[in-house]
A and B are shown apart, each in its own frame.
Chain A
Amino acid sequence: MPQDSAISAQPRTLPSSIGAIRAIFGSGAVIAAILYLVMFVLYLALLPGARSYSHFQDQLANSLPLALAAVGGTFVVLTRGFDLSVAGVVSLANVLVATYSMKGTTGILLAALMVCAVGLVVGAVNGILIAYLRLQPIACTLATMIITSGIALLIMDAPGGNVPSAIGNLLFERFGPLSMPMITVGVVILLWAVIRRTDWGVGLYAVGADETASRLAGIATASVKVRAYCVAGMFYGLAGLALSSITVSGDPTAGNSFLLQVFAAIAIGGTSFAGGRGGVVGTILGALVLMLVQKLLFSLGVSSFYTGIGQGVLMIAAVLVGAFSAHIAKSNNT
């Protein structure tokens, strides 16, 4: 609610500590965080074997590709856009890393540059077609998704390839108590905290809330949108890199399973598909929740056939709780 919207970029006094927490994370993120904590405690209670720090780290590493892709999607959804190209770009980045990357630390850096560049190009095409040629976001990104998965198929027509061990170990690297996924998530959240305070960050919320009003207020709406798609593309590329680090191989259809999960993570994280409300922190938590729920249902002894039912119900419930709390926040403010 207002805490998340563009207006909140202005400093304002909030009545309570709850208000302060909301101001930092946005109400959607708080719900996702509570959901995650409850599920995590349940998970630990049910599965004693999971009570170790390294298990938590592994779990974080496994959730990272989805989290990164969903963070990218959040930028677009905030502008009331829609980006299906995530599936294509993740696949493309995955096969690129599995085909062309070099050994060693420079290999990691070059691979990161490569996937970012690919994502940037696809994002720029999406953004320009949508913002300047006024194509419908779903239609346009559907086409670019198909094209990018075609390019992925050209590079690698069947699963295979090899990922250098430096990249394979990337996500499981430890720096004292910290691991690479933790650092990545931390950096993303810090970046987001900065971006939110820039003109572009405020513009994202403004364009999503009301594009016409934003344009009249002097925001360069088209450029805000193009940049949103570009940044989103880069995150998809990084998600593809993270995925390659986990699977240690290439698969031209690797990204397909991301398509719907990305939107599920965004929804659980409290970002509104009507635009202008939500944020990146919630999305990361949403991705964590989504990955944890599968494990939780499994450890509850639910047949793996039925885990989808749990996931579906959870998504609906998360959105309902989010809408309900937003409603309360609204009625408290007025």
Chain B
Amino acid sequence: MKGGIPVCSDRKLSPAEAPATARESTPSFLSTDLGKSVVLIALALLMLFAGRLVSPSLGGLNQISAVLVLSSFLIVVAFGQQMVVLIGGLDLSIPSMITLGGLLAFAWTPHGVGELLLVALAVMAVTGAVGMISGLGVTLLAIPPFIMTLSMGIIIYSACLGATRGTPRGQGSETIEALFSGRFLGIPLIILLVAVLAALAILLQSRTTFGRFLYATGTNRQAAYIAGLPVRRMTVATYACSGAAAGLCGLLLVGFSGGATLTMGQSYLLPSIAAVVVGGTAITGGRGSFLSVLAAALLITTFTTVISSIQIEEGWRTILYGAVVLIAILAMRDGTTPLTWRLLPLLRGNKKQQST
């Protein structure tokens, strides 16, 4: 993965395919992004139906729809996190951005579709602009992404806390709530919305120049810079993307829960990272696709839903959650082949690599 030149020189190669060429040693369907997603979603469905054995209310069509609704938040933030990770960064400001977006949506309370669009754009513009500041810090001041976004997160949270004095003011908006209660052709509106957004996200990554530049920059920043790509602008744009996505998530959460709290974003930081890594995105950048991250987000949400309906101690739930994440990253570490097939050649492969 060190050499980024093929990605830049071969203009015909689509960015989604480019990372795949690096894994040509296992050219099976399962090692493609589509294959990974199919496996992850199959796992999620399996989990849902297995849950039925424990609690009969699980596993129905209603349950699938409920899980899809619940996972929409994680899918949205995971998109932003993945964009930043693809370029070799990490966004730790996501919880604060969700809170900021939620507080703004709560305070502005849109009535009607027109206002909702306007408020959504305004919220995403504000959080996107804050994300842009992180991006500028990372590119212009060369502050490590980790520190920059962590600091911005603390600053934004503190500002939110100070501005609201701890108690957010506003009103729940029935228009945002309608996204969750309303249905079109029997499908909840929020699922349709997230499906459209996800399709756009996948197109953005795989079919646009921006997407191609993104993978090139993530694979080898230096090479991308020498090849004349706008590396700095790209980086700033990904952080803005992440901010906007988190803001949108905040707005959706306000619709879901009917209110905003200062801690509403806190439970999304680690799941967003988990979705990105379980979805097979390399934390060093340049490899991964949104399709499998979306599938991973579905898997994680399914798992947390199923496990919360089982009567076991909270500690065991947490341990199982961690174990699933660990097994998923072990299995996804290089193409999706069942863990048992992987482990033996893996150990041998490592020894070989070390002796060279």
Contacts and interface: CB of A to CB of B under 8 A. Distances in A.
Given A152-B315, A267-B144, 19 more contacts: A136-B283, A136-B329, A138-B273, A143-B322, A145-B322, A146-B321, A151-B315, A151-B319, A260-B92, A272-B144, A273-B146, A305-B158, A306-B158, A308-B157, A308-B158, A311-B154, A312-B155, A315-B147, A316-B148
A178 interface: no
Contact of B158 (A135, A139, A222, A312): A312
A319 B143 contact: yes
A138 B283 contact: yes
Main secondary structure of the interface of A (DSSP, over half): helix
B277 A146 contact: no
Interface in A112-153: 129, 132-140, 142-153
Interface string A256-277: 0000100110010000111000
Contact of A153 (B137, B142, B313): B313
Contacts of A133: 330, 333, 346, 350
Contacts of A303: 162
A315 B150 contact: yes
Contacts of B142: 323
8 contacts: A139-B277, A148-B322, A150-B317, A151-B319, A307-B158, A311-B151, A316-B147, A319-B147
Contacts of A311: 151, 154, 158
A146 B325 contact: yes
A215 interface: yes
B90 interface: yes
Interface in A288-334: 303, 305-309, 311-313, 315-316, 319-320, 323
Contact of B318 (A132, A149, A215): A149
B169 to A, nearest CB: 15
Interface residues of B, number: 51
A151 B322 CA distance: 11
Contact of B319 (A150, A263, A319, A320): A150
A140 B326 contact: yes
A121 to B, nearest CB: 15
A157 B315 contact: yes
A187 interface: no
B61 interface: no
B94 interface: no
B314 interface: yes
Interface of A: 129, 132-140, 142-155, 157, 215, 222, 252, 260, 263-264, 267, 272-274, 303, 305-309, 311-313, 315-316, 319-320, 323
B141 A305 contact: no
B158 A154 contact: no
Contacts of B153: 260, 312
A153 B154 contact: no
B159 interface: yes
A152 to B, nearest CB: 7
A72 B320 CA distance: 27
Contacts of A307: 158
Contacts of B314: 153, 157
A154 B315 contact: yes
A323 B92 CA distance: 21
A25 B150 CA distance: 26
B147 A273 contact: yes
A166 B159 CA distance: 41
Contacts of A135: 329-330, 333
A305 B333 contact: no
B293 to A, nearest CB: 13
B187 interface: no
Contacts of A267: 144, 146-147
Contacts of B315: 150-155, 157, 252
A144 B322 contact: yes
